[in-house]
Amino acid sequence: MSEDLVRNRKAWHDYHVLETWEAGIALHGTEVKSLRAGLGQLQDAYVDVTDGELWLKQAHISPYKFGTYANHDPLRARKLLLHKAEITKMTSKVVRKGLTIIPLAIYLNEKGMIKVKVALAEGKAHADKREALKQREQKREMERIRKGDRE
């Protein structure tokens, strides 16, 4: 079982997620401590391809409360660690089909390592977002009715 440290809840609302990967991430020690304390945010984060490498940008990891002069920059670009074949596969789809790569979550895996779940995604149209909201409301209403019948 993996434990989510940070989730990008807005990603599921704004994108159709097509394929996901687990990537390692290069972090400083104070960033690891901040993430374990739940002080991260992926709201405006995105993944950029530079010179055949993937970089997580605009992910906010708050400075560690007990850090010293060696504390990290909260918005620095962080390198994602994947196999070259996986990076090539992702970037070819992004270029050819007009897709994008987004971070979905930062979590601890079973071995205690911090990983990032990245996804190949396609943007949703405004009508698709409205339809998703309608379906969610209908589901909530059905749950209310179902719970009301049991009481």
| Domains parsed from the chain with CATH numbers | 3-124 (2.40.280.10)
Q: Name the nearest CA neighbour of 38 among 102, 108, 118, 104.
A: 108
Q: Is the per-residue pLDDT at 151 higher than 50?
A: no
Q: pLDDT class for 121, splitting at 50, 70, 90?
A: confident
> What average pLDDT does the segment 22-36 reach?
87
Least trusted range by pLDDT, from 17-21, 32-36, 70-74, 108-112: 70-74
- Identity of the residue numbered 27: L
Residue 48 has pLDDT above 80, yes or no: yes
pLDDT score, position 2: 65
The pLDDT assigned to 14 comes to: 81
Q: Name all contacts of 87-96 with Cβ < 8 Å and 24+ positions apart.
A: 87/49, 87/52, 87/53, 87/54, 88/52, 90/21, 90/49, 90/54, 90/120, 91/49, 91/52, 93/120, 94/49, 94/120
Question: Nearest-CA neighbor of 78 among 108, 103, 100?
Answer: 103
Mean pLDDT of 93-103: 84
> How high is the pLDDT of residue 103?
92
Q: Are 43 and 57 in contact (CB under 8 A)?
A: no
Answer for the pair 123, 21: CB distance below 8 angstroms, yes or no.
no
Q: Which of the four pLDDT bands, split at 50, 70 and 90, describes residue 95?
A: confident
